[in-house]
Structure 1
């Protein structure tokens, strides 16, 4: 056995290029028609299309986000897919030659491309703040994922996920609450995800050392 140390990490918190207040986008990533907040990260081979990534949200290797609002401090693991597009099931064929006829040299124009696009765009996904989406999970069109929720690795989320709820499976089902109702209510009153950077820095020791209940008791009444 020989010791091996090869290559560089692509993530800015581990790699040679530090994070910055401006969005950090890996050179292999694609970001189109989207907006990004401060301290956001888009990792290797990720795609972000027609979406908003709020402050501190990050996504790592090979994750795709389409037509979604991703809340502050969202944690998106590798190979996650948010809002994979559906096909027009009401038609005689599912194939895209019907709405991309020009590309297939079947018509001079993509006459009804707007119909399909508008249908897809109407199913925007909403991801709340402080959400963790595990490796290779899929969040289907039109779903809302609540504040502080956790989606287990490999899950397929077809229905809305409540605040501070852990779901997993295919289709995703509720496993348990992340915190008690009282702690949830306190955290939602505190809204630490809206704190200024100075407030976050001042509270970092409490974020590290206190569990959710103790944190809620210190900054609110439960």
Structure 2
């Protein structure tokens, strides 16, 4: 059973990363300069860099968030010997090269589901309640409660009507305390009852 202390499995590398209450990071994941808020998890074999992730997010296996890039247009050679020079014994690493990715933070809202083997490119913002289909490559911002699929990802539909989305956003249920969510679990399992009682 999860508790307030984050659950981090074996073979996980955390660098400058903050994990909220009831969070889980499964095996073989690398998180660098990441903030993951309460109740969110990543299912393993994830690579996440320079990202802010909201509450109740579900990140499937093999998802990559804010991947690196190569100097395709700015240098003769694309290879990482030009910026990871130390590993080849050439000189010190080119630290300035890495700043662009840090500056292009990925922001993921609350209750977002990111499907297996998806890739979220640098600088993207994903709105609350969105669904990213398996294998999608997200290159642009995603509106709240939309479902996107494909390469590059495209919206195929919305989860709810505009009216219901507005009411959910106003409720901000993801900020309810633990006891309130526990008390209202039955309504979370029945959308009509949830809407009737709390929206």
TM-score, length-scaled by structure 1: 0.86
Matched, 1:27 2:6: no
1:108-128 CA-to-partner distances (Å, cap 9, x unmatched) read: x33xx2211111211111110
Q: Which runs of 5+ in 2 are unaligned?
A: none
Which one of 104, 109, 123 corresponds to residue 104 of structure 2? 123
The answer for the alignment partner of 1:77 in structure 2 is 60
Map residues 80-159 of structure 1 onto 2, 5 A cutoff. Answer: 80-89=63-72, 90-107=74-91, 109-110=92-93, 113-159=94-140
Which one of 43, 56, 68 corresponds to residue 51 of structure 2? 68
Provide the secondary structure at the position in 1 that maps to 2:165: helix
The answer for the alignment partner of 1:185 in structure 2 is 166
Aligned length: 198
1:179-204 CA-to-partner distances (Å, cap 9, x unmatched) read: 00000000000000000001111111
Cα RMSD for the two superposed structures: 1.2
Map residues 157-172 of structure 1 onto 2, 5 A cutoff. Answer: 157-172=138-153
The answer for the alignment partner of 1:216 in structure 2 is 195
Provide the secondary structure at the position in 2 that maps to 1:66: strand
- State the alpha-carbon separation in 2 of the partners of residues 154 and 100 from structure 1: 29
- State the alpha-carbon separation in 2 of the partners of residues 120 and 190 from structure 1: 34
8 Å CA contact retained: 2:66, 2:101: no
Q: 1:195 to 1:105 in 2, by over 3 A?
A: same
Spell out structure 1 runs of 4+ moving beyond 6 A.
none
